[in-house]
């Protein structure tokens, strides 16, 4: 029931994923509006089930709403995963509510203090740079950033196939002396782990090839992410406006339409759909609030892959190694 285009686009995305994967998809929410959408779709041969949830947590509601709305689609969806009735939960709704509910219902991996939200940023040279945290945690201490580095490294390795991910801290300069005391302390610990830590990077490097994982707090990360999305949309829009101004530009644009299409695809958040909250014992995937069917379909694919890849268990092993490094420095 969450998202700007719910429930229609969310249901369509679920139907598309069920058709593409052959997997069972549970549609959690108020039955009547879901049934109206399904009535207009071809669902023959698909394994779909509507799971009733009477309440909805809106984008504008305070996070305290999670306590009073225990029958929200977010609560019900997370409980399905906890109880083994589903492998992953996907929502395009209230990010803070998804994080809070998932944290309470699943619990955190031992050694993790807070879940982190990774965001894949497209590179000019191909592939992605993983930025985290991208908005789940506004205020972070040194131990949180160190844990984000471990979880981001694991995510890049297991989900994106990067063999030895380069991890960096987002700072106001590349030199080790730049940044605040928190960042310098984080760097000191990371150098004692097996993580491939490469130091500091600046904002100009986020879409380049300097690092595979860039760590920051959620306040900075969310601003960086939204600025990047806004710039990408603005550039695509400006190109579209300019190439339609004259006849000859239109002719040139016709021959470049494949290149323009590829540019739009590489900068479209719907291509990866959503990202799992890292650090939880089970899988919850956060999709963009503007998600349409394509994004939801891909978010379901991400959730399925994260669950099958036992991402929570493997992050737990990496976190243990981080704590051993911290203990060595203390003693």
Interval 225-257: pLDDT, tens: 888 878 877 877 887 788 788 877 777 777 667
**Same domain (yes/no): 264, 275:** no
Rounded Cα–Cα distance for residues 190 and 326 (Å): 9
**Same domain (yes/no): 82, 218:** no
**Same domain (yes/no): 54, 67:** yes
The pLDDT value recorded for residue 281 is 93
Residues above pLDDT 90, as percent of the chain:
45
The pLDDT value recorded for residue 273 is 80
Q: Which residue is associated with the tokens 């009477």?
A: 54
Q: What's the rounded mean pLDDT across residues 23-30?
A: 96
The pLDDT value recorded for residue 322 is 67
Does residue 302 belong to any structural domain of this protein? yes
Residue 274 has pLDDT above 90, yes or no: no
Residue 270 has pLDDT above 70, yes or no: no
Q: What's the rounded mean pLDDT across residues 50-57?
A: 94
**Same domain (yes/no): 135, 96:** no
Rounded Cα–Cα distance for residues 140 and 113 (Å): 10
Residue 265 has pLDDT above 80, yes or no: no
CB atoms within 10 A of CB 84: 8
Q: What's the rounded mean pLDDT across residues 77-90?
A: 96
Higher per-residue pLDDT: 199 or 243: 199
**Same domain (yes/no): 125, 28:** no
Does residue 1 belong to any structural domain of this protein? no
Q: What's the rounded mean pLDDT across residues 70-98?
A: 94
Q: What's the rounded mean pLDDT across residues 146-172?
A: 89
Q: What's the rounded mean pLDDT across residues 80-85?
A: 96
Closest CA to 197 of 155, 160, 164, 157: 164
Sign for the CA dihedral angle at 286, 287, 293, 298 comes to negative
Does residue 226 belong to any structural domain of this protein? yes
Q: How confident is the model at residue 323 (pLDDT cuts 50, 70, 90)?
A: low
Q: What's the rounded mean pLDDT across residues 25-40?
A: 96
Residues above pLDDT 70, as percent of the chain:
92
**Same domain (yes/no): 198, 153:** yes
Structure tokens at 209: 């090839």
Domain count, the chain: 2
Phi, psi of 288 (to 5 degrees): -65, 145
The pLDDT value recorded for residue 66 is 83
**Same domain (yes/no): 46, 185:** no
The pLDDT value recorded for residue 95 is 87
Quote the domain boundaries for residue 98: 8-114+271-309
Residue 73: CATH number of its domain? 3.40.718.10
Instruction: Provide the whole-model pTM.
Output: 0.82
Cβ atoms 153, 195 nearer than 8 A: yes
Compute the C-alpha angle 89/95/100, nearest 5°: 75
Does residue 2 belong to any structural domain of this protein? no
**Same domain (yes/no): 178, 320:** yes
Residue 331 has pLDDT above 60, yes or no: no
Q: What's the rounded mean pLDDT across residues 120-135?
A: 87
The pLDDT value recorded for residue 191 is 85
Does residue 21 belong to any structural domain of this protein? yes
Mean pLDDT is lowest, of 115-124, 188-197, 259-268, 319-328, for 259-268
**Same domain (yes/no): 251, 176:** yes
Average pLDDT, the chain: 87
**Same domain (yes/no): 250, 149:** yes
Helix/strand/coil for 222: helix
The pLDDT value recorded for residue 171 is 92
Tell me which long-range contacts 158-163 makes (C-beta under 8 A, separation of at least 24). Answer: 158/309, 158/311, 158/314, 159/302, 159/305, 159/306, 159/309, 159/311, 160/120, 160/127, 160/128, 160/130, 160/212, 162/127, 162/212
Alpha helices in the chain (DSSP H): 8-21, 31-39, 65-68, 73-82, 95-106, 142-158, 181-190, 218-243, 247-255, 257-266, 293-308, 311-330
**Same domain (yes/no): 174, 321:** yes
Higher per-residue pLDDT: 150 or 260: 150
Structure tokens at 219: 């306040």
**Same domain (yes/no): 211, 171:** yes
């Amino acid at each position: 029931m969450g998202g700007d285009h719910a429930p229609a686009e969310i249901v369509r995305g679920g139907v598309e994923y069920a058709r593409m994967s052959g997997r069972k998809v549970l549609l959690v929410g108020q039955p009547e509006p879901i049934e109206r959408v399904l009535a207009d779709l071809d669902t023959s041969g698909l394994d779909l089930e509507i799971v009733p949830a009477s309440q909805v947590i809106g984008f504008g509601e305070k996070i305290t709403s999670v306590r009073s709305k225990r029958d929200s689609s977010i609560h019900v969806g997370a409980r399905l995963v906890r109880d083994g009735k589903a492998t992953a939960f996907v929502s395009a709704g209230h990010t803070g509510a998804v994080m809070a509910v998932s944290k309470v219902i699943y619990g955190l991996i031992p050694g993790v203090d807070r879940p982190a939200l990774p965001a894949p940023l497209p590179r000019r040279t191909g592939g992605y740079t993983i930025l985290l945290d991208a908005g789940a945690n506004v205020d972070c201490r040194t131990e949180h950033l160190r844990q984000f580095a471990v979880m981001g490294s694991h995510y890049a390795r297991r989900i994106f196939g990067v063999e030895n991910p380069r991890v960096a801290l987002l700072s106001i300069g590349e030199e080790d002396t730049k940044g605040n005391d928190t960042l310098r302390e984080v760097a000191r610990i990371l150098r004692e782990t097996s993580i491939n830590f490469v130091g500091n990077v600046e904002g100009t490097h986020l879409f380049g090839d300097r690092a595979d994982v860039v760590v920051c707090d959620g306040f900075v990360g969310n601003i960086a992410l939204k600025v990047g999305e806004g710039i990408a949309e603005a550039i695509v829009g400006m190109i579209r406006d300019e190439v339609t101004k004259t006849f000859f530009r239109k002719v040139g644009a016709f021959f470049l339409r494949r290149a323009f299409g590829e540019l739009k695809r590489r900068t479209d958040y719907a291509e990866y759909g959503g990202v799992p909250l890292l650090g939880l014992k089970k899988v919850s995937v956060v999709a963009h609030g503007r998600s349409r069917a394509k994004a939801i379909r891909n978010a379901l694919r991400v959730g399925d892959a994260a669950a099958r890849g036992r991402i929570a268990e493997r992050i737990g092993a990496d976190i243990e190694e981080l704590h051993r490094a911290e203990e060595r420095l203390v003693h």
